[in-house]
Every structure is written in C-alpha cells, then in structure tokens.
Chains A and B, each alone.
Chain A
Amino acid sequence: MKRFAALFSRLALFLLLGLCTAARAQLSIEITGGGANLFPIAVLHFAGEDQLPASITDIVEADLQRSGRFRLQYSGGVGAPPTEASQVNFTEWRNRSADALVIGTILRLPDGRFEVRFRLLDVLRQTQLLGLGFTLSAAQLRLTGHKIADAIYEKLTGERGVFSTRIAYVVKQNGRFELRIADADGQGSQTALASREPIISPSWSPDGTRLAYVSFENKKAVVYQHSLATGQRQVVANFRGSNSAPAWSPDGRQLAVVLSRDGGSQLFLTNADGSNVRRLAQSQSIDTEPFFSPDGQSIYFTSDRGGSPQIYRMAVSGGEPQRITFEGSYNVSPRVSSDGKTLAYIARNGTRFQLASMDLASRQVQVLTDTQRDESPSFAPNGRMILYATDLGGRGVLAAVSADGRVRHRLTVQAADVREPAWGPYTDK
C-alpha cells in the first residue's frame, strides 16, 4: 500500500511536471505569406536525456521553430535513439522528409555536471555537418539548449543564431515596476531592478554587460547605467528638468541622451559615466529617441520640427538633419538593424500604432503587424527578428516579427503587464 502511495505520488509529480512543460512550451507562432521555404529538420531525443531535470531537445526544437525558418519533422517512434551517424537509418529520415537530423547523447560526469554531445547530419548526403560538445550544470540547461540551436541555425542558414542572447523588459505588477533580463524566448527571467516608480527605455551596452535606462524613483526622469553582474548603478544624467532616452554609441564609450535642462527636449552626448555633457543638436522643437547608426557616425532621432513627429538622421559631427519618414503624420521610435540597412519604427495609421520597417536604400516602407498599440521595437543582433511591445486585451505583451513580416510570435512572459523590451547584443564573439 505504501509503495502504491509512493508510486502514485511520483506519478502525480510526473504529471504535474508534464503540465508545467506543456504550459511553458505553449507558443503562438504564426507563419504568414505563401511559398514559405522552411528547412525540414528532425531533432531526436538525445540518448540519456532523461537524466536532465528537463528536456534539452525541447528547447532546441522550440528555438528552431520560433525562428520561422525550419519545419520540425516528427522525430518519435524510432526506438533507441542513435548516438552515432553509423546507427542512423537515413532512408527512413528521407522518407520522413527530413533534410537534416540532430542526434546527441547526455553523459553524467562524476562531479555532478553533464556533458552533451550532438551531431547535425545531412540526411541526403548521409554526412555529418557539425559535431559539438558542451559541459553544463543543471542550471545551464536552457542556455546550453539555446547554444545548440544557435550552432544548428548558423550551420544551416549561414547566419548567426540569436537564441542564446538575452532580452530586457519592464513588468508592471501590483503597482511595482521590475526591470527584468530573460533569455531571448522570454524564459528564465531575473529581476535586475525593482521600483515603486516607473522604469522606461532600457538600452543595452554593446558588450551586453550593462543597461542604461530611465527611472522615476526620484519623482522625475533620471538616466542611470546599471552593471548587470554586480547590480552597481550610476547616475548618468540628473539635471534640472527631465533626463531620458539613453542610447549607447557602438563603441560603448558614449551615450546619447535627451535633456530638458536648457528648455525643451534636446539631444546631448555624454560619456558613459555622465561626464563631458555636450549638446548634439539645437532646435525649437522636440528632439528625442536618439539611436546610433552601427558605424557610430550618424544618429537617428524623432523630432516634430516639421509640425508632426517624424524620424530624422544627422551626423554625430553636426550638420543639417535629414528627414527619413514622410508617410503619415506620426512616426516615432527609430531603431536600425546591425547592418545599417533597415529602419524599424512605430507608425500611426488612423488610430493604430503599428510596427513598420523601411529599407533605407529604397525608402520602401512595410507595415509589419496588424495590432493596435505597438511600441518600442528592437532588432535581434542578427537583424532577422524585431522584438516589440503591444497590447492584447488591455494587457501589455511582448511579440516578435521577422524583418520581412512573414513570421510572428508572442513571447510567453508570465506577468501582468509587460513593456519596454530591448533585445541584447551577442555576448561572445
């Protein structure tokens, strides 16, 4: 009887864990547009994976799926998972229409850590494309899964993956504001700052170690920079009036900020420690939301100098700003992809605020979403996806859309009201 009870409780626990996994795995991915050319791939359960507290191949599959560039083929019903290419029945995988196959093994090390080895196989050529190993503690399971997905993504697409990068966002819950850091899929969040007053405009330092942001903890907008590993904070700009909209220069040495200390919201440059504040531009209008071009030579910003808020670009060295957006009467929040070719911004269409992108060479504009209240776009470091905040049933949620508008998904952040996302940089070169 006792044994039965123990068995039963274990079974209940197992079911509960299963439910949790299912809840975590729920992800709404929408792939629109015909002729989607998805790469068919199968990720087999790694041999010995049951030793891990959670499935690592689930993480790899979810990452690849979310990118919108792969079709995950059914990988079950194969009996004992193969651990070597020689054990793979390639004919069967070809019949299952998988062009690539991922196999792997998990080994428990004497010190309690784990070793994961995996291989990416070309099913048609019956060759190995990639073989890698990682050593990890149980706590590094998610990150390791993301790194495996990154390696697969890079091998098959020729571009760097962003699954192991991090995002920052702000949660408003029970009258509190929290600046959180999470994996790029919104999971595994950690609170970097909690406050009773609003926090907005987080901006990642180019090396991914620090965030600059605006906090209202002193009853007004003050710009801080915050070292994530140590929690050490430093005031960057706290002048009379409002201090806001920090943006890092690509070399990480300077911040562009908006100060109203001399009247009006105007663009300034400061060293990252807040020293050497100097004016970047002078106008009678609102100038805000500076964003450096990847080469550090120009600054994109929002200004209403023409009568309505539009996006402009000017040289950091000075000179006449050039207007970039012309369609519509409200275009704000410019962000530029890391190759400098695409501008993402928020455009008002009637009463809707929608994420739009512009090809900076052709000036061709594309509205990327069909939501009502999009805000705060930021590019993934590889430029493929754009993360943004939007509204779902009166609640702030995070969503991502591919730069071509074809793939969309929502991030599963379990919190009341989520806003102000910022996609972090690659952290290892």
Chain B
Amino acid sequence: MKKTLLAVFAAAFLWACSGDPPKDDGKAGVEDRTAGKPGADAAKSVPVTPQKVAPVTVGPTGKPGPSPLRDPKNILSKRSIFYDYDSDVIKDEYRPLLQAHAKYLADNPNARMLVQGNTDERGGREYNLALGQRRAEAAKRVLLLMGAREVQIESVSLGEEKPRCEEKTEGCYGQNRRSDLLHSGEF
C-alpha cells in the first residue's frame, strides 16, 4: 500500500515536472489527478497570449489526471505514421490518428509537439535527412489543416540516423520510414 502511494506520488511528481507548472497550485492535490477527466477543462483554459511560453499556463490536460497521450486505449497513444519508399505522402489510414492529435493540440493551446521524420538507411545521409524533413513537414501540414497551430509544432528530421529496426530487410526499412509525434515533455 505504502509502495503504491509512493509510486502514485512519484508519478504525479514526474507528471507535474513534465509540463509547465499548473496555475491552480493551491487546489491541485494528488487525489484530484486520478479523479479529473482528461481534457475536460481544456477548452476553458485560454491563455492571454498564445505566442508566449507563459508561466501562467496549466498542464496539457488542464486538470491533473492520467494523460490520454499515454493511455494505450486512446488513439493519442499511437505516435507513428509510416510511409512508402521515397515518399512523403500521408496514407489515409493515418488520418484518424493525425486528426486526434490535431484536436488535442487545438484543445490545448499550450501543448507543443515535435514531429521527427525518419528514413530507411538506403542512400546518402544528408539527402535522407532532407527526405525525413519532408516527411515531418508533410505530417505537420496535415496537423495544421486539422486545427493545430503553427507555433505548436516543430518538424525536424533524424534522417537514417535513429533506425527503430536495424536489419537490412524490407520489413525493417518499412519500420524506419516514419514520422514520430512527440508531445511536450517527451523531447
């Protein structure tokens, strides 16, 4: 029991550290975090100047609670979209995923995202870096069309430098041709 409490507290502490400090410091207790509905208050927490990384912001979900971003049942926990060889076309099957992330960003104006584009290992490193950049930017464009704002998303490329799978097989190459969506606190 003690251990569980400690774990919950530790998790809560980490969670609190992972984003900007919550505005409503006084009333936010550990117990609230489990009770709060994810994203429930998000629409209400409109910051004064969206451009600023202001100290008055609340956490990404507005009210403390388990992050929908890490809930395996929530589509927001899915973070990768995959591409065909030498292509930056976003396939239709990833639209719902991007839609969910775009909505999350729209609902949480202070939330930030890093889109990391990746390629398979074939070809030149710098050209692959540029291809990964193009993939990340394609994903970002779709997210912007779906309601996220420019200031929220940075698109970068890791090129072929951080392969998820290291074998020289078609299956592996397919795993490595992807963009990963990272939310605040994850990069």
Contact = CB atoms under 8 A, between A and B. Distances in A.
Interface of A: 198, 200-201, 214, 216, 219-221, 240-242, 244-245, 258, 260, 263-265, 286, 288-289, 302, 309, 330, 332-333, 346, 348, 353, 373, 375-376, 394, 419-420
A418 to B, nearest CB: 14
Given A200-B161, A216-B158, A289 B126 contact: yes
Interface string B118-157: 0000111111011111100100000000000000001111
A260 B133 contact: yes
A302 B133 contact: no
A241 B116 CA distance: 10
Contact of A375 (B114, B125, B137): B125
Contact of A221 (B129, B168, B187): B129
A302 B124 contact: yes
A241 B125 contact: no
A332 B127 contact: yes
25 contacts: A198-B158, A198-B161, A200-B126, A201-B126, A216-B161, A219-B187, A220-B116, A220-B156, A240-B154, A241-B154, A242-B133, A242-B156, A242-B157, A245-B126, A260-B155, A263-B137, A265-B133, A265-B134, A286-B134, A289-B126, A302-B126, A309-B124, A309-B127, A375-B124, A419-B125
Interface of B: 114, 116, 122-127, 129-134, 137, 154-159, 161-162, 168, 187
A288 B130 contact: yes
A200 B125 contact: yes
Contacts of A289: 124, 126-127
A333 B134 contact: no
Most chain A C-beta atoms within 10 Å of own C-beta, residue among B124, B132, B156, B168: B124
B89 to A, nearest CB: 15
Contacts of B158: 198, 216, 220-221
B126 A244 contact: yes
Contacts of A263: 137
Contacts of A221: 129, 156-159
B129 A288 contact: yes
Nearest to A330: B123
A264 B88 CA distance: 12
Given A198-B162, A264-B137, A332 B124 contact: yes
Contact of B131 (A198, A286, A376): A286
B118 to A, nearest CB: 12
Nearest to B161: A198
B126 A258 contact: yes
B37 to A, nearest CB: 32
B150 to A, nearest CB: 10
Contacts of A200: 125-126, 129, 159, 161
Nearest to B153: A240
Nearest to B167: A394
B124 A346 contact: yes
Contacts of B161: 198, 200, 216
* Leading 10 A-B pairs by shortest Cβ distance: A265-B130, A198-B161, A332-B124, A220-B156, A286-B130, A288-B130, A242-B157, A245-B126, A332-B127, A289-B126
Contacts of B157: 221, 242, 260
